[in-house]
Amino acid sequence: MRTIIIYYSLDGNTEFIARKVAQDLNASLLKLEPEKEYPKGSVSKYVWGGKSVVFGEKPRLKPYKFQKEMYDVIILATPIWASSFTPPIRSFLTTNDLINKKIGLISCSAGGDTQKCRQQMLELTKASAFVAEMNLIEPLKMDVNIVDNQISEFCTKLYGNFG
């Protein structure tokens, strides 16, 4: 099963998880990078990130290579900002048609509402459901054994849907 994990990460939580899942699944990784990076640390990241989500911004991304026909499964990994997915993920999804693809979802949050993010992602990808889902709360602060267990459960569910 050829799998790619497409992700955006500002503070490293989502990248940490994307890399661990990619290693477990022997999956490819595609890191989305906006041409103009969001501010890190302090309050400014919440102001700029929240504003970008609320206004549905689609930042221009640095060039990347992606051919959906090369993959059986596409896993989208995003931090949750203002109860939604990040603008770089929005940019990717509005320029790449994932209709009829098997899609998994990984989200990282500080403990907020994940259902709004999930529903918006389903609508934008036009998927009826995700083949597997996982949300982690600040994984860089979590016990590594708990993180590994959640990743194992996610990978088992993902593979179980193709058995």
The per-residue pLDDT for range 36-59, each reduced to its tens digit, is: 887 776 666 666 677 677 777 899
Give whole-number Cα distances, 37 to 145, 147, 151, in Å: 32, 28, 28
Q: pLDDT digits over 30-41, tens only? A: 999 999 887 776
Are the C-beta atoms of 59 and 52 separated by less than 8 Å? yes
Residue 112 scores a pLDDT above 80: no
3-state secondary structure 42-62: CCHHHHHHHHHHHCCCCCCEC
DSSP of 83-120, one letter per residue? Answer: TB--HHHHHHHHHS--TT-EEEEEEEESS---HHHHHH
CATH topology of domain 3-160: Rossmann fold (3.40.50)
Q: 1-28: per-residue pLDDT in tens?
A: 899 999 999 989 999 999 999 999 999 9
Burial of 110 (C-beta count, 10 Å sphere; 0-12/13-18/19+): exposed
pTM: 0.93
Domain ranges of the chain: 3-160
